[in-house]
Chains A and B, each alone.
Chain A
Amino acid sequence: MATATAPPVMVERLPRSRSLSPFSWDRVTPILMIAPSVVLIAIFVYGFIGRTAYTSLTAWRGVVPDYTFVGLRNYIRLFGTEKFQADIVNTIHFTAFFLAGCLILGLGAAVLLDQKLRGSIFFQNVFMFPLAISFIVTGTVWRWIFNPSYGLNVLFHNLHLDFLQSGWLTKPSSALNSLTIAAVWQMSGFCMAMFLAGLRGIPEELREAAAVDGATEFQIFRHVVFPLLRPITLSAVIILGHISLKIFDLVFVMTFGGPGYATDMPGLNMFITTFRQDLFARGAAIATVLLLMVALLIVPYLIWNLRGETER
């Protein structure tokens, strides 16, 4: 990282400071360089996480802070609400389908584009474009597309494909899947870019060697290409996974959690609980649960990553 690199002047001084003094410049400088960001992160990231966790154990309700300690009462009440139970189920459902959709479409598109056919650069850009749009815009557009009276349904009707018509966002049974479609549309281009980079990074010799050994095109893909894509896949799962667990903007615009609790998510619930209901302690409890959920996904990855770095 840029801040950690010592300026050239220091390099010139290196021979002189070879002494074992603990306060030599080449030891102090990096620490001084990193210190501001360490302090800021300590306060504004970890400090606030701690403060939130603490708040979730208090009785703060209403506009005046109340730090009476109540233990896990907020959590017990939170998990007792039908809404939060629905949130958990929805998040798992959404994450599973969102990840599957993005990975399958992304990999498929990447494999096709990797054939270096004519116009692949064009399509590469087309698939990437949705990524440049914010979830707010995507959500608004897809809400129109899914509107039963002037969106997709009208198109299907005009094409005499009436059997494809659906209630989309209006029916509790289909709303979450409709939301997933919009999210997949937005993020599968990102997956494609990652997979494409991965595919391009596989040395041609490996494929050729496999071909010489008599492997079919499918076998090469299954036994050579696919295993080499594993690190990329894992990275994609981590990045998309934490986006989907924390999803807020898309839901806020498309459904606001409705109909009923059909598309409600912990992020939206936390916002409403904290800022509409003024239940600050309970909102902090939701934030803490959300953090733990994301940690469950990220921490194993970090450990795996760290182990890889030390082995290298």
Chain B
Amino acid sequence: MGNERWSRRQFVGRAGKTAGGVVLGLGLADLLAACGASTGTTAASGTGNLEIFSWWTAGGEADGLKEMFGIYSKKYPSVKIINAAVAGGAGTNAKAVLKTRMEGGKPPDSFQVHAGQELISTWVKADKMEPLTSVWNSEGWDSTIPKDLKDIVSSNGQVWSVPVNVHRGNALWYNKKLLDQNNLTAPTTMDEFLSQLGKLKTKVPAPLALGSQGNWQVQMLLENNILAAGGPDFYKKVFSGQASFTDANVKQALSWIKSMLNYVNSDHPTLGWDDADKRLIAGSSVFNIMGDWAKGYFTANNWVANTDFGAAPSPGTTGKYVIVCDTFGLPKGAADRDNAVAWLKVCGSEEGQAAFNPKKGSIPARTDVPASIFDPIAQQFIAEFKTDALVPSSAHGSATPDAFASGVNDEMGQFVINKDVDKTASNLQKLSDEFLKA
């Protein structure tokens, strides 16, 4: 009997905790925020602490962050740097921790955030961020950081965060030896790509590797294909609610995904993006469409760029660059505001970006960092970044608010199963009506 009684208690307790905890926790946090703001003090630059919040905890990312800390410490030796990093892919855990800290009135001095809506639709809208326009202008970043990128981190005429690095979302990776053996070169148009897949299917059962666990990889295919079908202007319009997802361009993009799905490995729902790239290394697939973090995976497995593997813009997106960009911002009420501003200047400096990006596997947001310190594929991307049309990624939170991106994520999970172009397009438009028009 005692056992049953306990479980009853447990049940009520859990239900209350999961649901109510959220609500009251944030209500309480609000109160604390009010207190925190009034007692916030600022330390003079050069002494005190600097707390940097990120989700860079492993491998090259953590190394790159350490490099930037090193540069900062050289300039301000008496500032104690506190590395408040929270582990978890794409920052899903870190964002939750950040939420409690921001609402609780104890923001870190500066925190990592994807460029664009991930910051603007949340903390900027909540009036919890300081604009960085004056820092941007005094550092003269207008002349070194592309205007397309500045537009992504700006709203209402103010700049809100400093870009540190740029990843490319629209990249096609291929097993170079397999491609050469079949007398093929990297495709540039979607038609060419699909016909190559058709030819390769006779030799390799699944020429296109896909790991769709979590669905965001399919979401990347969608945005790459929308860019290929409609071009940058349409892309920006459709992801800001000014064009419809029932447009022919979106339907074209969806049909392309549908065609691609004929050539992918059948176990894709249980594979992550890295498992898909493993198929390239094993020779059981030829192509994979993924962000340029795939490069880090290949080189970590002793694959040599342009010998074992190669990269090209995803089919149909030559001259266009989907940006996945990490930035740092300045929350209101930061305990060491002046130190944080000095940190942001390091983030945006040539020295800082040259130290960080080779380790991280990304390219600098500045266009004046010498390309020679990078690997050949990064060099290729750096050259294209300077001239290409730049658009923000929706799958990675830059173009659209999380509520929309997460809804699209679900929708793409359904699309992979039902492959219904018209229904998916109209469902996407419903999400746009609900979350992009606000």
Q: Is the Cβ of A258 less than 8 Å from the Cβ of B413?
A: yes
* Stretch from B11-19, B302-310, B317-325 contacting the other chain: B11-19
Q: Smallest Cβ distance from B419 to chain A, in angstroms?
A: 11
Chain A interface, >50% SS class: helix
Q: Is the Cβ of B410 less than 8 Å from the Cβ of A276?
A: no
Q: Is the Cβ of B14 less than 8 Å from the Cβ of A44?
A: no
Q: Which of A48, A257, A288, A302 has the most CB of B within 10 A?
A: A48
Please provide the chain A residues from 236 to 274 with a CB less than 8 Å away from any CB of chain B in the complex. Answer: 238-239, 242, 246, 256-262, 267, 270, 272, 274
Question: Total A-B residue pairs with C-beta atoms closer than 8 Å?
Answer: 141
Please provide the chain A residues from 74 to 117 with a CB less than 8 Å away from any CB of chain B in the complex. Answer: 82-83
Asked whether B380 is an interface residue with its Cβ less than 8 Å from the other chain, the reply is no
Asked whether A152 is an interface residue with its Cβ less than 8 Å from the other chain, the reply is no
Asked whether A149 is an interface residue with its Cβ less than 8 Å from the other chain, the reply is yes
Asked whether A61 is an interface residue with its Cβ less than 8 Å from the other chain, the reply is yes
Q: Is the Cβ of A45 less than 8 Å from the Cβ of B12?
A: yes
With A62-B125, A278-B403: A49-B410 Cβ-Cβ less than 8 Å: no
Per the CB 8 Å criterion, the residue count for chain B at the interface is 50
Per the CB 8 Å criterion, the residue count for chain A at the interface is 58
Which residues of chain B have C-beta atoms less than 8 A from A50's C-beta? 20
| Chain A window 278-290, contacts with chain B (Cβ cutoff 8 Å), 1 for yes, 0 for no | 1110011001101
For B11, the closest partner residue in chain A by CB is A242
Cross-interface CB contact of A259 among B8, B26, B125, B417, cutoff 8 Å: B417
Which residues of chain A have C-beta atoms less than 8 A from B192's C-beta? none
Q: What is the bound-complex CA distance between A61 and B418, given in angstroms?
A: 30
Q: Is the Cβ of B11 less than 8 Å from the Cβ of A298?
A: yes
Which residues of chain B have C-beta atoms less than 8 A from A246's C-beta? 14-15
Q: Is the Cβ of B16 less than 8 Å from the Cβ of A48?
A: yes
| Chain A window 29-54, contacts with chain B (Cβ cutoff 8 Å), 1 for yes, 0 for no | 00000000000010011111111100
* Stretch from A126-134, A165-173, A209-217, A222-230 contacting the other chain: A165-173
Binding site for B on A (CB under 8 A): 41, 44-52, 55, 61-65, 82-83, 143, 146-149, 167, 169-170, 172, 235, 238-239, 242, 246, 256-262, 267, 270, 272, 274-280, 283-284, 287-288, 290-291, 294, 298, 302
5 closest A-B pairs by CB? A48-B20, A287-B19, A52-B19, A45-B16, A277-B403
Binding site for A on B (CB under 8 A): 4, 7-8, 11-24, 26-27, 30, 92, 96, 99, 102-103, 121-123, 125-126, 213-215, 266-270, 401-403, 406-407, 410, 413-414, 416-418, 427
